[in-house]
Chains A and B, each alone.
Chain A
Amino acid sequence: MVNDMSQLFWMCSIAGFLVFIIGIYGLLVTFNLIRAIIGLELLTKSVTLFLILAGYVTGQTGLAQALAITLIVIEVVVIAIAVGIVLCVFRHNRTIDAQLLRNIKG
């Protein structure tokens, strides 16, 4: 059981890290705003994974679940607002190119 637990733990943490890195990479590199939002989403999901893992390891599964659900709720609101902003950008210029958002320089 301990072996399973630790194996599960390590797999999940590596998976979490992978998701994290994919999320950051996506956010950094893409020129498409929707993909940037997806990147944000991935980041947050990886963090949720970390939270649950932490709860699992220390045995506070109840607390971890509560935290994870709260996090998902907040995340939904943020993503909704972000998508709304991207929608407004689209209404301005009929494109969702991230290079549009580089006006405020210097």
Chain B
Amino acid sequence: MNANMLLLPVIIPLLAGILILLVRRLRGIISLLATGSILIIAIALFKQQLTYSLPWLGFGIDFNLRLYPFSAFILLSITALSFLVMLYSCSFMQGKNYLNQFYAYFLITIGLASGAVLADNLVLMLFFWEGLLITLFGFIAIGGKDAFKTATKMFIIVGVSDLCMMIGIGIVWYLTGTMTISTLNVPLNTLGCTAFVLMMIGAIAKGGSMPFHTWIPDAAIDAPLPFMAILPGCLEKLLGIYLLVRITMDMFKLTPGSLLSSLLMIIGAVTIVLAVMMALIQKDYKKLLSYHAISQVGYMILGIGTCLPAGIIGGLFHMINNALYKNCLFLTAGSVEKQTGTTNLNKLGGLWSKMPVTAVCFLITAASISGVPPFNGFFSKEMIYGAALERGTIFYIAALLGSFLTAASFLKLGHAVYFGKRNQENENTRESSLPMLIPMIVIAAVCVFFGLYNRFAVSYFLEPVLAGQEFTEHTSTLLIALTVIVLIVAILHHIIGAIVNGSGVKAADHIHHAPVLSGIYDRAEKRFFDPYEIGLKIVSIASNILFFLDRAVDWIYDGFTVKLAYGLSGAIKRLNTGNYSLYIIWSLLGGLIILILMFKGFGS
């Protein structure tokens, strides 16, 4: 295994994507081959440490790729999940528009993501990171006419955060003079803290935490479903949290108890609670799942923000778990959408008997995400609870509240879609086709596996990341008991809510219409709190002012000087009367003036 193989996960998908754009046929086969091959390469390269280095642009910007346990692990996840989703989308996307572009964007995104993960040079990583913006834009925009606005929104939000990251990288370079990530060690003075905050903004915006999340629910409706599965579902989290861990652990070496770690924890906690509260009231399958994606990122950020080894491992474990079950959840949503044609919760119901495999996968993954033992979500959340409790009770309570609401909303979702009364139109739905079922089954199985053998998962995949640091379990029976109690309360709450409000869908409506919360919910639905919308309003005011100034400057150039010149020209024309006596007088006057000037000793 030589180092040149490191280039392959980056180059193969890129070339395959471009190939698909040029050659219209054999899309599915090419993309499957591409993703399959890089999966094999990622498996083969696992457990090795390789570096690949090529001088690129000057100034210390080199084409450095580095494979070490952490990046190998992420690379493996990316390739495996993308292979599965690609398999899924071969079946799902039949009959939709813009198929060429879809596959091309998919592949190019994977290539760029692999590059970003493997990159060892900050500028190189930035290069791949920014490239993702373009493919994301294209990916969303092919979903339909309205998708363009969402794509623009995504571009601006993620673009601005990427800009912050760029500035952060610039400050890092200024502070340390090098761009190679593995050798960086940035001091934490004021400038370093600013750099950290800026890069953190870039990382968490990519992951989709608040307040950079507003494009994800919109994209959930507008973009094609496999996009939602692979990108906000897993790739973004993987990349965002990967970067967050690297800057917290390697580059800046945060310590527990510092201000920045508290900042991270606060962001994480707020994200958890607010996002899941929004998720609770959604009436659309995909939008609900997307809000949950945002909320789960909060857990990861919280875990990493604790800066304790338990918390970081918890956060990373949660990251991979989330990638798995969020992916599968979106795939089930896609399966339902394909078979029934809708994702509106009011129209769905009782699909248990018609789509059993989908329903079982849904059950497993919903249980994982809610933190039900013995699935994988339970274990990762326990680790995070333990670390969070050690740092502050408020964070633990926030996480627990998030768990409660997550469980409640998934109970609602499951009830609404798979149980309950079946709608008339859905009498004829069948189970999805095999290429769509296989990925779901595989992922659900891995969720179970990671849950039952979580010790193995943690020690094999994750502990090498924290090379050298001590890792002790912080869980105690108290915590486990609390978690189980919360779950039981959630189930009870749901049953009561369903009975009170009528159907499964409306199980959470009493929260929706609670006194203070209903006002907030209404405004949130109208995008009152959306920073993007607020930003747009400010930008339009600013642009009006600048336009006005520009008109003024224009008047000076175009209006004023031209009139001045023409006025002077007219004056000179009028002076010229055609009378030669006047010319003689001019000459004599001129001569007189010259004489006077000569005599005054004019000039030096």
Show the binding face of A for B, using Cβ within 8 Å: 24, 27-29, 98, 101-106
Is B573 an interface residue when CB atoms closer than 8 A count as contact?
A: yes
For the residues of B in contact with A, the DSSP-based class is helix
Among B578, B581, B588, the residue within 8 A (CB) of A105 is B578
Question: In the complex, A104→B573 CA distance in Å?
Answer: 11
Q: A102-B577, A102-B579 are in contact. List 10 more A-B contacts (CB 8 A).
A: A28-B585, A29-B581, A98-B580, A101-B578, A102-B578, A103-B578, A105-B576, A106-B573, A106-B574, A106-B576
Is B22 an interface residue when CB atoms closer than 8 A count as contact?
A: no
Which residue of chain A is the closest to B570 with respect to CB atoms? A106
Shortest distance in angstroms between B588's beta carbon and chain A's nearest beta carbon?
Answer: 8
Question: In the complex, A27→B588 CA distance in Å?
Answer: 13
Is B584 an interface residue when CB atoms closer than 8 A count as contact?
A: yes
Show the binding face of B for A, using Cβ within 8 Å: 573-574, 576-581, 584-585, 588
**B residues near A103, Cβ cutoff 8 Å:** 578
Closest 8 CB pairs of A and B: A102-B578, A105-B578, A106-B573, A28-B581, A106-B576, A102-B579, A104-B578, A28-B584
Question: In the complex, A104→B579 CA distance in Å?
Answer: 9
Among B573, B579, B581, the residue within 8 A (CB) of A27 is B581
Question: In the complex, A77→B84 CA distance in Å?
Answer: 108
**B residues near A101, Cβ cutoff 8 Å:** 578, 580
Question: In the complex, A59→B292 CA distance in Å?
Answer: 117
**B residues near A106, Cβ cutoff 8 Å:** 573-574, 576, 578
Question: In the complex, A102→B577 CA distance in Å?
Answer: 7
Which residue of chain B is the closest to A27 with respect to CB atoms? B584
Which residue of chain B is the closest to A106 with respect to CB atoms? B573
A-B contacts, 19 of them at CB < 8 A, read: A24-B584, A24-B588, A27-B581, A27-B584, A28-B581, A28-B584, A28-B585, A98-B580, A101-B580, A102-B577, A102-B578, A103-B578, A104-B578, A105-B573, A105-B577, A105-B578, A106-B573, A106-B576, A106-B578
**A residues near B573, Cβ cutoff 8 Å:** 105-106
Which residue of chain B is the closest to A29 with respect to CB atoms? B581
Which residue of chain A is the closest to B582 with respect to CB atoms? A28
**A residues near B579, Cβ cutoff 8 Å:** 102
Shortest distance in angstroms between B423's beta carbon and chain A's nearest beta carbon?
Answer: 89
Question: In the complex, A56→B429 CA distance in Å?
Answer: 131
Which residue of chain A is the closest to B579 with respect to CB atoms? A102
**A residues near B576, Cβ cutoff 8 Å:** 105-106
Shortest distance in angstroms between B92's beta carbon and chain A's nearest beta carbon?
Answer: 81
Which residue of chain B is the closest to A99 with respect to CB atoms? B579
Which residue of chain B is the closest to A28 with respect to CB atoms? B581
**B residues near A28, Cβ cutoff 8 Å:** 581, 584-585
Which residue of chain B is the closest to A31 with respect to CB atoms? B581
**B residues near A27, Cβ cutoff 8 Å:** 581, 584
Question: In the complex, A69→B394 CA distance in Å?
Answer: 119
